[in-house]
């Protein structure tokens, strides 16, 4: 039987080794729905009870980390349920175990480290859920500090990183080890991407990648079935609400969800209405209102929200370009393990070239800064980017650790000073005249990964649609992936013909067709692959068509069919040369 859950993947001895290994970060790739929370919490409780050596009652504690307030809420509720289901020998044991486990967001941890650089010393076990946070949320400027401190702490303590999407972080740690950590290996890959593919419920997903319009995709979804649409960062709150109004009908009520934090000056305040929606969604593990059939949401809902809804049959991703985020969005649906009919259709719509080009401009700008940082002298770099440096600089007294003190000052002034978010450096000016440039390596890595995807897509548009690019790459992570392409350019039709026609002809090999069917076949080649007469732009004749398919190793053989009245019709058979 295929192991769907992490708890089924490890023996008791392997679990004990995993939760007690020191020296490196233990990296576990596990898809959403693989039971990460249960696996972690039940074993941490066992550790606190003294079932794993060398752990047991001590002054040191365990720390669970997550990256969204919604996920923190979910983890706390899950922990309460797991503690309630645990047998304790005494009240004292229950009290100790309950106090043994701390739960923090990454953002809260960063603040505590800024206040006290020794903060992590109270923990001998740290478990970081959704560890792709370190790159995805680079914009808060402290992810590099937090990651560095966790890596240092892993030398003498056990630290586990969990995520469905670890590829970018592993690549980053392979780079940063030579920059910050004297070349020592920083992580151990406990489960590779390939080993984790069978975990969870990815086999319950039927994924279609398309370059069709949202309106046409929605027509394929029955009017009485539930769905969720995830939009990208270009869709503002107002645009989300406008789309909801456009798509809602008397028979199809649609709701919306975005961040519960809204801008107030340069700071933020809680959107009470949205916070209530999140509370209802998290607590009920379903849509916040039973009346609605669909929801339109953005990346504020990319984790921490589990939808255990067997009637949620469709997930639509509208122009999502980041594979990490794509996997997180798909993972919001949690399938019933006892119902094999609980399947989900996933439609990944990818066609907006203009949005990609807009993202690319910002990415190119960031990497341009990086290139100059690597090639220019410090003085040349400072002179060239004087304005950007002014926006991203902080003044500090003379400190031993200017990076740490600079981050503290950056954090204190983040709502008061407008920064250049594309400039991946913090510059510290010490009172003694010392100036240092501190790269945000997490930002540089994430932008480089994003740019790699964008350049890959745009570079192949001459040959294939955006949908084709994503279909090929998504097959690395999912088993049931198909593609539906519309509106191909002439060059895309030409290049796709080289791949698709041999397979198409092979499926027709040996099949006999009549004259009318043969004509329709040649018409199909014209429509689908732009195969036509070069001057007249008409469907190819018999001889020209035969010559065309001969390059693929096929030919049309003619024969005589059954006599009909006084006529013996010609039949056409596709054969291998």
Residue where a domain stops, chosen among 322, 351, 380: 351
Nearest in space to 347 (alpha carbons), one of 197, 218, 201, 476 = 218
Compute CA 283 distance to the chain's CA centroid, rounded to the nearest angstrom. 24
Residue 571 in domain? yes
Do 360 and 458 touch, CB atoms closer than 8 A?
A: yes
Widest CA span of the chain, in angstroms? 107
**Other Cβ atoms closer than 10 A to 119:** 16
Clarify whether residues 66 and 125 are in a common domain.
Answer: yes
Residue where a domain stops, chosen among 439, 457, 476: 439
Cα(297)–Cα(240) distance, integer angstroms: 8
Q: DSSP assignment, residue 2?
A: -
At residue 54, the pLDDT reads 47
> Which residues fall within 8 angstroms of residue 174, CB to CB, at 6 or more apart?
186
Q: Which residues of the chain have pLDDT under 50?
A: 54, 56-57
* Tokens of residue 223, six digits: 């009017």
At residue 95, the pLDDT reads 66
Q: DSSP assignment, residue 158?
A: E
Cα(482)–Cα(80) distance, integer angstroms: 41
Residue 326 domain boundaries: 202-351
Q: Taking the CA of residue 492 as centre, how many other CA atoms within 13 Å lie in the half-sphere pointing to its CB?
A: 20
Clarify whether residues 30 and 102 are in a common domain.
Answer: yes
Residue 183 in domain? yes
Cα(419)–Cα(468) distance, integer angstroms: 38
Q: Taking the CA of residue 138 as centre, how many other CA atoms within 13 Å lie in the half-sphere pointing to its CB?
A: 22
Do 36 and 129 touch, CB atoms closer than 8 A?
A: yes
Residue 74 in domain? yes
How many domains does one find in the chain?
4
* Tokens of residue 462, six digits: 């001459």
- Cα-based torsion angle of the residue sequence 294, 295, 296, 301 in order, rounded to the nearest 10 degrees: -140
Residue 465 in domain? no
Per-residue DSSP letters for 89-141? SSHHHHHHHHHHEEEEEHHHHHHHHHH-TTGGGGEEEEEESSTTHHHHTGGGS
Q: Please confirm whether the linkage preceding 165 is cis (ω < 30° from 0).
A: no
Residue 452 in domain? no
Cα(183)–Cα(134) distance, integer angstroms: 20
Nearest in space to 252 (alpha carbons), one of 218, 283, 286, 281 = 218
Q: How do the residues of the chain divide into helix, strand and coil, expressed in percent and rounded to 5?
A: 45, 20, 35
Q: Strands, DSSP E only, in 339-378?
A: 344-349
pTM to 2 decimals? Answer: 0.83
Q: DSSP assignment, residue 538?
A: P
C-alpha R_g of the chain: 29
b/e per residue 261-283 (b: at least 16 CB within 10 A): eeeeeeeeeebeebeebbeebbe
Tens-place pLDDT, residues 484-494: 998 888 888 88
SS3 307: strand
Cα(184)–Cα(90) distance, integer angstroms: 44
Kind and range of the H or E element at 435? strand 435-439
SS3 467: helix
Cα(430)–Cα(405) distance, integer angstroms: 10
Residue where a domain stops, chosen among 439, 457, 479: 439
Q: DSSP assignment, residue 18?
A: H
Clarify whether residues 24 and 162 are in a common domain.
Answer: yes
Clarify whether residues 389 and 316 are in a common domain.
Answer: no
Do 316 and 227 touch, CB atoms closer than 8 A?
A: yes
Q: Taking the CA of residue 290 as centre, how many other CA atoms within 13 Å lie in the half-sphere pointing to its CB?
A: 1
CA distances in angstroms from 102 to 75, 288, 456, listed in the order given: 11, 29, 42
Clarify whether residues 525 and 400 are in a common domain.
Answer: no
Residue 429 in domain? yes
SS3 318: strand
Clarify whether residues 144 and 209 are in a common domain.
Answer: no
Q: Report the CATH number at residue 126.
A: 3.40.50.300
Clarify whether residues 345 and 382 are in a common domain.
Answer: no
Only one residue has tokens 């000016």, namely: 429
Q: Taking the CA of residue 133 as centre, how many other CA atoms within 13 Å lie in the half-sphere pointing to its CB?
A: 26
Cα(380)–Cα(377) distance, integer angstroms: 5
Only one residue has tokens 């010392």, namely: 434
Clarify whether residues 207 and 344 are in a common domain.
Answer: yes
Kind and range of the H or E element at 229? strand 226-230
At residue 57, the pLDDT reads 47
At residue 94, the pLDDT reads 64
Compute CA 267 distance to the chain's CA centroid, rounded to the nearest angstrom. 27
Cα(23)–Cα(215) distance, integer angstroms: 53
Clarify whether residues 191 and 209 are in a common domain.
Answer: no
Clarify whether residues 165 and 219 are in a common domain.
Answer: no
Clarify whether residues 243 and 278 are in a common domain.
Answer: yes
Residue 466 in domain? no
* Tokens of residue 274, six digits: 């949205």
Residue 321 in domain? yes
Do 449 and 417 touch, CB atoms closer than 8 A?
A: no
Clarify whether residues 42 and 166 are in a common domain.
Answer: yes
Cα(547)–Cα(556) distance, integer angstroms: 9
At residue 79, the pLDDT reads 67
Cα(397)–Cα(406) distance, integer angstroms: 10
At residue 182, the pLDDT reads 94
């Amino acid at each position: 039987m295929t192991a769907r859950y992490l708890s089924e993947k490890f023996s008791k001895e392997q679990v004990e080794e995993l939760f007690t290994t020191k020296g490196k970060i233990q990296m576990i790739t596990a898809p959403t729905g693989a039971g990460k929370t249960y696996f972690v919490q039940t074993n941490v409780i066992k550790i606190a009870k003294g079932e794993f050596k060398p752990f047991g009652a001590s002054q040191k504690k365990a720390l669970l980390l997550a990256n969204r307030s919604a996920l923190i809420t979910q983890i706390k509720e899950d922990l309460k349920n797991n503690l309630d289901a645990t047998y304790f020998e005494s009240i004292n044991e229950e009290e100790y175990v309950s106090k043994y486990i701390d739960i923090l967001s990454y953002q809260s941890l960063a603040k505590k480290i800024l206040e006290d650089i020794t903060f992590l010393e109270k923990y001998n076990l740290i478990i970081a859920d959704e560890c792709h946070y370190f790159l995805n949320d680079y914009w808060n400027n402290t992810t590099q500090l937090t990651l560095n401190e966790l890596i240092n702490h892993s030398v003498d303590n056990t630290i586990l990183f969990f995520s469905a999407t670890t590829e970018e972080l592993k690549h980053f740690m392979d780079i940063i080890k030579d920059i910050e950590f004297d070349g020592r290996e920083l992580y151990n890959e406990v489960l590779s991407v390939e080993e984790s593919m069978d975990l969870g419920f990815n086999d319950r997903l039927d994924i279609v990648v398309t370059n069709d319009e949202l309106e046409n995709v929605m027509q394929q979804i029955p009017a009485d079935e539930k769905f969720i649409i995830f939009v990208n960062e270009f869709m503002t709150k107002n645009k989300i609400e406008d789309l909801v109004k456009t798509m809602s009908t008397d028979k199809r009520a649609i709701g919306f969800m975005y961040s519960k934090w809204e801008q107030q000056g340069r700071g933020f305040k809680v959107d009470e209405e949205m916070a209530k929606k999140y509370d209802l969604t998290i607590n009920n593990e379903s849509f916040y209102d039973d009346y609605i059939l669909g929801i339109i949401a953005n990346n504020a809902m990319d984790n921490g929200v589990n939808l255990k809804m067997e009637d949620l049959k469709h997930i639509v991703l509208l122009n999502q370009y980041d594979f990490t985020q794509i996997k997180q969005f798909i993972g919001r649906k949690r399938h019933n393990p006892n119902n094999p009919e609980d399947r989900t259709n996933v439609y990944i719509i990818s066609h907006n070239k203009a949005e990609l080009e807009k993202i690319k401009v910002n990415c190119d700008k960031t990497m341009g800064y990086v290139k100059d940082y690597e090639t220019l002298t410090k003085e040349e770099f400072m002179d060239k980017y004087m304005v950007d440096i002014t926006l991203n600089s902080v003044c500090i007294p003379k400190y031993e650790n200017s990076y740490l003190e600079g981050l503290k000052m950056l954090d204190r002034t983040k709502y008061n000073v407008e920064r250049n978010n594309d400039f991946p450096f913090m510059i510290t000016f010490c009172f003694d005249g010392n100036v240092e440039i501190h790269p945000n390596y997490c930002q540089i890595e994430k932008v480089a990964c994003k740019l790699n995807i964008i350049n890959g897509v745009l570079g192949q548009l001459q040959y294939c649609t955006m949908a084709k690019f994503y279909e090929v790459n998504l097959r690395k992570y999912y088993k049931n992936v198909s593609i539906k392409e519309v509106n191909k350019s002439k060059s895309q039709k030409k290049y796709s013909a080289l791949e698709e026609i041999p397979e198409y002809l092979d499926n027709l090999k040996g099949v006999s067709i009549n004259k009318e069917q043969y004509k329709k076949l040649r018409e199909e080649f014209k429509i689908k692959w732009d195969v036509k007469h070069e001057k007249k732009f008409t469907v190819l004749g018999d001889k020209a068509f035969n010559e065309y398919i001969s390059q693929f190793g096929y030919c049309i053989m003619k024969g005589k069919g059954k006599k009909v009245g006084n006529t013996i019709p010609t039949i056409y058979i596709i054969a291998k040369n």
